[in-house]
């Protein structure tokens, strides 16, 4: 079968109207400017704190581009727009920053309801969760350092564990997969421990729980291999979500401030090398693990497809998934889906005010990732030009 062509803009954008494409072009033009992005974020934060009437404007711009809706029903409507093109979604409750035991406890039924909702929908095979949505950051930091916990802290972490395992148990019962997102490296230890325990419980017959491996950290390729060996020894299937990483500037700044060796690769080429080696490692063991190739990198996405062809792995193999964020890299998503691969969009949802930290990060990342915004903008403009030429002819 032919390999996907990521420069096919007709397939990439066929679900979007020409006015929607023009609006996306304007948005990417704006976030392509670091100065405009910085000013825009500052003004938006001020307007929200001052309770100025900017919610409507946000919903029509950044929110519409990168978020599925304010609630599950709106997210389902967005997912339904993707379904005819063979694209599923990762339902991601995008509210960040809630703190305190009451908030952590309140989040559990929200996620269980999301799981049941996803199970009732035709193209919602995943939900995503962050352990920091259920645990105090300082507690995770202390555990990562293997410091002795007080009796109260031990009881606190037992409650954290119960929250995570209750969600994973509900996912197991409903046949919905759970992506446990990565965190900062200085709290990742207990996150890995929770993911490993959840996988050992719920990944016996099929993969329900995935841990995340951020390959911009030089230790994570080795940890991926260790995780596979552990899964083999303990008799469960590894779920491996592969990403490059999301906290690079913060990680390097903290390492400088506290005078320790940065956990981050010294250069992008090393990250790319480790990422692609991780893809090779997983594709070589596709019957014994499931891999979730989460990337906006065309080369790495194509590598996954090439290896599937080379090894005779079915495009819709239940252990092979590709993913990009909603509103980004449609050229990868929709061209992979057109060739029959399992592809999902990360689809955050939540009230505008609560999803703002996520939206700010998307804007900043699009500004800082070299070439990402210009690539998005060039593809959109190419499709607008193609449509204009077609209309003339």
pLDDT at 108 over 90: yes
The Cα 149–Cα 230 span in angstroms is 26
- The answer, as to whether pTM is greater than 0.85, is yes
Residue 101 pLDDT level (bands cut at 50, 70, 90): very high
18-22, 24-28, 80-84, 371-375: range with lowest mean pLDDT:
371-375
Q: How far apart are CA 194 and CA 202, in angstroms?
A: 12
Rounded to whole angstroms, the Cα distance separating 255 from 65 reads 34
The pLDDT assigned to 195 comes to 98
Report CA 237 to chain centroid distance, whole Å. 21
Answer CATH for 69-349 from 3.40.50.1970, 3.30.310.80, 3.20.20.220, 3.30.1330.20: 3.20.20.220
- Contact by Cβ (8 Å): 363, 40: yes
Give the C-alpha separation, 186 to 254, whole Å.
Answer: 10
Q: Are 318 and 325 in contact (CB under 8 A)?
A: no
Looking at residue 371, what is its pLDDT?
A: 60
Number of alpha carbons in the 13 Å side-chain half-sphere of residue 234: 18
Rg (CA), the chain: 21
Residue 236 main-chain phi, psi, to 5 deg: -135, 170
pLDDT above 90 for 39: no
Adjacent-strand bridge partners of 349: 69, 93
Distances (CA, A) of 348 to 23, 206, 320, 345: 20, 25, 22, 9
d(CA 302, CA 110): 36
Contacts of 384 (CB under 8 A, 6+ apart): 18, 21, 22, 25
Joined tokens for residue 336: 């992979």
Please give the share of the chain, as a percent, with pLDDT higher than 90: 78
What is the pLDDT, as a whole number, of residue 28? 85
- 247-261 mean pLDDT: 91
Q: How far apart are CA 238 and CA 122, in angstroms?
A: 25
pLDDT band of residue 357 (cuts 50, 70, 90) is: confident
CA-based nearest residue to 360, from 43, 24, 25: 43
Provide the phi-psi class of 33: left if phi over 0, else alpha when psi is between -120 and 50, else beta. beta
The candidate with the shortest Cα–Cα distance to 327, out of 347, 350, 357, 303, is: 347
Interior angle at CA 99, CA 96 and CA 101, nearest 5: 130
Contact in structure between 101 and 153 (CB atoms under 8 Å): no
Distance CA(213)–CA(211), nearest Å, equals: 7
Check residue 84 and report its DSSP letter: G
User: Per residue in 172-231, pLDDT tens?
Assistant: 999 999 999 999 999 999 999 999 999 999 999 999 999 999 999 999 999 999 999 999
Amino acid 290: pLDDT = 98
At residue 59, the pLDDT reads 81
79-88 average pLDDT score: 97
Is it the case that residue 42 has pLDDT exceeding 90?
Answer: no
310-334 residue pLDDT tens: 999 999 999 999 999 999 999 999 9
Say what the pLDDT of residue 230 is: 98
Among the listed ranges 60-74, 79-93, 369-383, which one has the minimum average pLDDT value? 369-383
Question: Domain boundaries in the chain?
Answer: 1-67+364-393, 69-349
Distance in angstroms (rounded) separating the CA atoms of residues 34 and 369: 11
| pLDDT (mean) for 304-308 | 98
């Amino acid at each position: 079968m032919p390999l996907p062509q990521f420069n096919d803009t007709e397939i990439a954008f066929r679900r979007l109207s020409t006015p929607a494409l023009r609006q996306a072009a304007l948005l990417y033009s704006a976030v392509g400017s670091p100065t405009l992005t910085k000013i825009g974020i500052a003004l938006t934060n001020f307007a929200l704190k001052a309770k100025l009437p900017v919610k409507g404007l946000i919903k029509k711009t950044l929110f519409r581009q990168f978020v599925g809706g304010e609630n599950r029903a709106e997210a389902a409507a967005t997912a339904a727009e993707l379904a005819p093109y063979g694209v599923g979604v990762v339902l991601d409750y995008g509210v960040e920053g809630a703190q305190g035991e009451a908030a952590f406890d309140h989040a559990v039924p929200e996620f269980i309801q999301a799981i049941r909702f996803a199970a009732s929908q035709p193209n919602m095979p995943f939900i995503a969760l962050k352990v920091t949505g259920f645990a105090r950051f300082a507690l995770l930091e202390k555990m990562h350092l293997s410091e002795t916990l007080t009796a109260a802290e031990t009881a606190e972490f037992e409650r954290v564990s119960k929250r995570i395992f209750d969600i994973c148990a509900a996912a197991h019962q409903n046949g919905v997969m759970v992506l446990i997102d990565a965190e900062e490296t200085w709290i990742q230890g207990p996150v890995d421990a929770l993911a490993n325990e959840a996988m050992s419980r719920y990944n016996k017959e099929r993969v329900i729980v995935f841990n995340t491996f951020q390959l911009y950290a030089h230790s994570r390729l080795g940890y991926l291999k260790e995780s596979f060996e552990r899964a083999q020894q303990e008799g469960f299937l590894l779920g491996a979500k592969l990403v490059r990483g999301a906290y690079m500037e913060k990680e390097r700044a903290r390492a400088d401030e506290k005078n320790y060796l940065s956990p981050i690769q010294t250069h992008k080429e090393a990250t790319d090398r480790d990422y692609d080696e991780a893809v090779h490692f997983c594709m070589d063991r596709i019957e014994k693990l499931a891999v979730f190739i989460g990337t906006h990198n065309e080369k790495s996405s194509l590598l996954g497809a090439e290896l599937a062809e080379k090894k005779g792995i079915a495009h819709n193999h239940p252990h092979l998934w590709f993913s990009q964020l909603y509103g980004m890299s449609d050229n990868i998503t929709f061209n992979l889906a057109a060739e029959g691969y399992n592809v999902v969009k990360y689809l955050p949802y939540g009230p505008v005010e609560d999803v703002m930290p996520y939206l700010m990060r998307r804007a900043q990342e699009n500004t800082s990732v070299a070439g990402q915004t210009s690539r998005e903008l060039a593809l959109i403009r190419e499709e607008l030009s193609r449509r204009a030429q077609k209309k003339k002819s």
